[in-house]
Amino acid sequence: MQGAQGSAGAQGVQGAQGTTGAQGPQGDTGAQGPQGFQGAAGTQGAAGAQGNQGTQGVQGAQGAQGAQGAQGAQGAQGAQGAQGNQGFQGASFLAYTVLTVGSGTFTTGANTNRVWIRMVAAGGGGGGAATAAGSGAFAGGGGSGGYVEKMFTVTPSTGYAYTIGAGGAGGAAGNNNGAAGANSTFGPVSAVTITAIGGAGGIGMAAAAGAAVSNGGAGGAVSTNGDVNGTGAPGGNSLRLGPAAGWSGFGGSSHFGGGGVILVAAGAGVVGGLGSGGSGAAVVSASAATAGGDGGDGIATVFEYAV
């Protein structure tokens, strides 16, 4: 039979440490810790490559005008012009003469060696106007004569021929055209003759009720052989609007006189001034047939000088 267990003996001395056991398996990942402080900024990176050029923008509004620039330096003096023609030396005016319609001889004074001629031809007559029951007529005006002027060297106490043209007669009462004015001439002086050309007559008009036009006469054609050669002015056209409404053509005016004036009431044409055309006649609401105005005679002025 087994006896009772005795009491435990005293603890013995601790033995030496055993070798390290094998590593245990890795534990589960722990919870994420709080975010750390932001780090310091890094250094700036290198510049990127240049991008492509953009499209051109819309043109801007024009700027205000700038202040005026300073005046430029004066240019160099131009070359000297050619010498002009020699003027008359110590010319003295001696006399003044008017030559009227007709032909004759102009005789220079004893000391005259220059004459200055201003001359115009005669004007044309205005047209005539016819009549008929319930009708009207308005005729065209005559043209003025051409103009010429010239300085001649002449011999003292010497005669020189001239002709001053007569004005053209106005068209007779009825549908009749005015006559042309006559030419005016002076010379020859040293084989040169100056000529101004007469103006043409205005066109007459037949009586009727409807609208119509009659032409004015042409002005004298360009003059010849002068220092100044001019044409005459044309006469005015007439216009009939109806038996009682319209106007006749005016006469063309010249350098020496005014043309005959237009008519809106019944009547004969008006005579033109010197070298000018007569106006056309007018018939209103079957009034009597009337004649056109005569053209003005030509004229010349002669200035005598001693040089």
Q: Are 217 and 232 in contact (CB under 8 A)?
A: no
Q: Would you say how long the chain is, in residues?
A: 307
Higher per-residue confidence, 137 vs 11 = 137
What order of strands is seen across the sheet that includes strand 102-107? 102-107, 159-164, 184-189, 192-196
Q: What percent of the chain has pLDDT over 70?
A: 83
Q: Provide CB contacts within 8 A for 213, sequence distance 6+.
A: 237, 238, 239, 240
Rounded average pLDDT over 40-58: 73
Structural domain boundaries in the chain: 89-307
- The pLDDT, as a whole number, for residue 1 is 47
User: What Rg value do the Cα atoms of the chain yield, rounded?
Assistant: 58
Specify whether the CB–CB gap between 303 and 114 falls below 8 A: no
So what's the pLDDT on residue 301?
98
- pLDDT(284) > 70: yes
Specify the pTM. 0.71
State the DSSP H helix or E strand holding residue 114, giving kind and residue range, or none if neither: strand 114-120
| CA distance linking residue 9 with residue 108, whole number of Å | 193
DSSP summary character for residue 208:
B
Please choose, from the candidates 105, 149, 120, 107, the residue with its C-alpha nearest in 3D space to the C-alpha of residue 296: 120
Least confident of 9-23, 43-57, 114-128, 166-180: 9-23
Please state, in angstroms and rounded to a whole number, the distance separating the CA atoms of residues 125 and 248: 13
Closest by CA to 271, choosing from 285, 281, 284, is: 281
Whether 196 and 214 have beta carbons less than 8 Å apart is answered as no
Give the pair of three-digit tokens for residue 234.
């044309």
pLDDT by residue (tens digit) across 23-44?
A: 667 767 667 766 756 656 667 7
